[in-house]
């Protein structure tokens, strides 16, 4: 079996398919998910699993350069908002966009992971980064 990290098959495939700028969305249980997007439904019951429970192990294996969040989170779910910010490394840019735009961006996802989260405006878009810049000497 797989030794470490994320054990899930579909999620392992998704992580390995992500390219620079590709979008992986982690959404709450009531989020409307378009049929055209590949969905990994990890939801079990209300509150299980939470969005941060998915993102923390994801950040171990997936290089990201930016995070998109619905701006309404600041007003509606402030405590969750603070917890969410705490799990991202400093070098990752956090961008806030209106929820309507947020929903449009989720439709462009490489994949959507559905959770049991039941907090308003809690969904997160992870924008794929890239682990190399310029060229390595021995790379030639």
Q: Which helix (H) or strand (E) holds 67?
A: strand 64-70
CB atoms inside a 10 Å sphere around CB 129: 17
The answer to the question of whether 80 is labelled as a binding residue is no
Cα gap 25→136, rounded to integer Å: 32
- Assess 92 for contact with a copy of itself (CB under 8 A): no
- Using rule CB under 8 A, residue 18 touches a copy of itself: yes
Tell me if 136 contacts a copy of itself by CB under 8 A. yes
Binding map of a copy of itself across residues 67-86, x = CB under 8 A, - = no contact: ---------xxxxx--x---
C-alpha 69/C-alpha 28 separation (Å) is 12
User: ω into residue 49 within 30 of 0, thus cis?
Assistant: yes
Of the candidate residues 25, 26, 43, 88, the single one contacting a copy of itself (CB under 8 A): 43
Is 99 annotated to bind a ligand? Reply is yes
CA–CA separation, 71 and 14 (whole Å): 27
Contact at 8 Å (CB) between 120 and 74? no
Answer yes or no: is 12 a known binding residue.
no
Is 96 assigned to a binding site?
no
81 is catalytic: no
* Residues forming the site for a copy of itself (CB under 8 A): 1-13, 15-22, 29-33, 35, 38, 41-50, 53-54, 57, 60-63, 76-80, 83, 110, 116-120, 122, 128-137, 139-140
What residues are designated binding site? Answer: 28, 99, 121-123
- Point out the residues that are catalytic: 20
């Amino acid at each position: 079996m797989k030794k470490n990290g994320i054990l899930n098959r579909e999620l392992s495939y998704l992580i390995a398919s992500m390219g620079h700028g590709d979008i992986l969305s982690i959404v709450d249980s009531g989020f409307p998910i378009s049929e055209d997007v590949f969905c990994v439904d990890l939801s079990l019951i209300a509150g299980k699993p939470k969005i941060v429970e998915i993102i923390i192990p994801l950040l171990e294996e997936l290089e990201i350069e930016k995070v998109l969040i619905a701006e309404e989170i600041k007003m509606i779910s402030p405590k969750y908002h603070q917890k969410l910010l705490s799990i991202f490394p400093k070098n990752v840019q956090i961008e806030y966009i209106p929820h309507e735009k947020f929903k449009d961006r989720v439709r462009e996802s490489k994949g959507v992971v559905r959770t049991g989260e039941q907090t308003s405006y809690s969904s997160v878009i992870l924008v794929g980064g890239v682990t190399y810049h310029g060229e390595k000497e021995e790379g030639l």
